[in-house]
Amino acid sequence: MLDIDDLSISIGPHEIVSIEHLSIPAGRRLGLVGESGSGKTMTAMSIIGLLPREAVVTGSITFDGVPMVNRPERELSKIRGSEIGTIFQDPLRALNPTMRVGKQVAEALRLHNTVPKQQVRSRTIELLDQVQLPEPEVLARRYPHQLSGGQRQRVLIAMAIACDPKLLIADEPTTALDVTVQKEILELLGRLSDELGMAVMFVSHDLGVIQAISDHVAVLYGGRLAETGPTDQIVRSPRHRYTEALIDVNPGHPEDITASLGKALTTIKGSVPPLGAFLPGCRFRGRCPHETERCVQEPPITEMDGGHVFKCWNPVEVP
Amino acid sequence: MTDLSSTDGLFFDYGSHTRRRGVDDDWTLRDIAVTIPAGSTVGVVGESGSGKSTLVRLMCGLLMPSRGEITFAGRSVNDWLSEDRLDFHRRNQIVFQSPASSLDPRLRIRTSLSEPTKALERRRPDTAELTGWLADVGLSGDVLSRYPHQLSGGQLQRIAVARALSVRPDVLYADEPTSALDVSVQAQVLNLLMGLKSRHGLTMVLVTHDLAVVARVCEEVIVLKDGQVVEVGPTADIMTDPKTDYTRTLVQASRATSLSF
């Protein structure tokens, strides 16, 4: 349903994103994972044309058979919010503080004329109920500041699914939330995606969160696709050295808490280089503990069973 | 271990300082009795609104209790603040969640880093001292001339830690110090805090909603819910055998979003 081929996003002299191929079949969930500055958000936003004005995009993004790259703004804005829904990290900033939340959900419905005028109100309540907000009639009359962080994110999800989108882009939607609320929101998104047959592109820096929501994952580093494939397979047996590092760095839940207490956590050497400061060849060079002489060249693409693909000269050995 | 800091029958409410209130009223913190043993690392966990940040702000003297007592090094915090206010603040330092907003955007790092020494010790630190503090948190002296916007989140959090430690405190309170950071940077900052703690013989109180972090760093945990302590104990016990439903929910939620192999 969504196909990305030879996508390249540049700002000025710097190529920020360069992806050979990435796709999401209808109704499926894909996680984009990587550190800050790895190009996750740029990749997601390029789909709906929400990039900085000076960004130059080449290659092809096909959504439901329709090309999206360099599409006129008028057509894009019709697709945004109707066929592709979006939710962001900070729900408070995404809501209008001076408008009751019910009205904001109704606005999403009116804008795309999805239901007849007389039904807007009842559909609004239905949507608030669908995202499991308690007493939707009462809640619809509240202002954003009267809701908790989790409730605000639910309102945004209600707005995003208002027009039955085929794809939902979720950019770190649970990063600002408590663990308990995070779990509820992830469960809600999973359930809505199953019930509505809605595909999800889920952006996060936390592989644990990605594993909880999506069956497939794409690991990005320096704007390049390091590894992609089924989430469980990649978490259990990563091949790319960056994926391996991302897994090792996750504090997780140790088996023996007393033994691991106070012991240093595994880290990734250095930090993500600033734009334009990546070395040629493999992007992870300089931070990778398994670097070889060959890594100065662009790494080869290795395809394995089950759609597991990685780009690494010196991959993790499979046992 | 002796107790360095403790609270007894502590009540607090943001609006109640002038009002008479009964113990049954709706308090932000209600009847808190906790102890922080000297030299330990204690985690304070709970959901948003549970009062965990309020508790550490009270303990380090940034807020005054509505009722009850806070004791530091065997002496009431009230006495400390009226008799040795500067010394109390020197001994109790805190770092916050967002390093970008705890450093003044208009000041060079040199100025921000010098502030606690100027305020609490009435002197101006020299470049050698400043560079030494930065080296302690793994940064070079180059950053002294920079402004906050020129540095990354991880670097800024290191500077906030260096600034707190510049006055050689007894206790370092850290309020969600890694929540705004990437997982990779989070591990670096946690390692830094653990290393500094053992090098300087600090006592550390870590506020977080992330039990995975607590499990790696803290010996003891205080679980707060709606302003009350629901459970206190060694981390391993609380993580493997929580005694209350609330703690169980927290542990399960944390496991559900952790990597599983």
Q: Is the pLDDT of residue A146 over 90?
A: yes
Q: What is the pTM of this model?
A: 0.89
Are A179 and B235 inside 8 Å of each other by CB?
A: no
Q: Is the pLDDT of residue B18 over 80?
A: no
Residue pLDDT, tens place only, B229-259: 999 999 999 999 999 999 999 999 988 888 8
pLDDT of res. B214: 92
How does the average pLDDT of chain A come out, rounded? 92
Give residue-wise pLDDT tens across range B137-163: 999 999 999 999 999 888 999 999 999
Of A148, A179, A271, the CB nearest to B210: A179
Looking at residue A255, what is its pLDDT?
78
Q: Output the DSSP codes for chain A.
A: -EEEEEEEEEETTEEEEEEEEEEE-TT-EEEEE--TTSSHHHHHHHHTT-S-TTEEEEEEEEETTEE-TT--HHHHHHHBTTTEEEE-S-HHHHS-TTS-HHHHHHHHHHHTT-S-GGGHHHHHHHHHHHTT-SSHHHHTTS-GGGS-HHHHHHHHHHHHTTT--SEEEEESTTTTS-HHHHHHHHHHHHHHHHHHT-EEEEEES-HHHHHHH-SEEEEEETTEEEEEEEHHHHHHS--SHHHHHHHHH-----S-HHHHTTPPPP--SS-PPPTT-PPSSSTTTTT-TT--GGGGSPPPEEE-GGG-EEE-SSPPPP-
What is the band of B19 on the pLDDT scale with cuts at 50, 70, 90?
A: low
**pLDDT at position A270 over 90:** no
pLDDT > 90: percent of chain B: 78
Residues of chain A above pLDDT 70, percent:
100
More confident residue, A297 or A252: A297
Of A208, A236, A266, the CB nearest to B258: A208
CB contact under 8 A, B216 and A263: yes
- Residue B187, chain A, CB below 8 Å: the answer is yes
Confidence of residue B1 (pLDDT cuts 50, 70, 90): low
Interface contact flag, A266 B187, Cβ < 8 Å: yes
pLDDT in tens, A38-95: 999 999 999 999 998 899 999 999 999 999 998 898 999 889 988 999 998 888 888 9
Average pLDDT in the A141-166 region? 93
User: Has residue B197 got a pLDDT over 80?
Assistant: yes
Does B17 have pLDDT greater than 70? no
Average pLDDT of the segment spanning B72-84: 94
Residue B73 forms contact with A (CB below 8 Å): no
Supply the pLDDT for residue B207.
Answer: 95
pLDDT reported for residue A112: 85
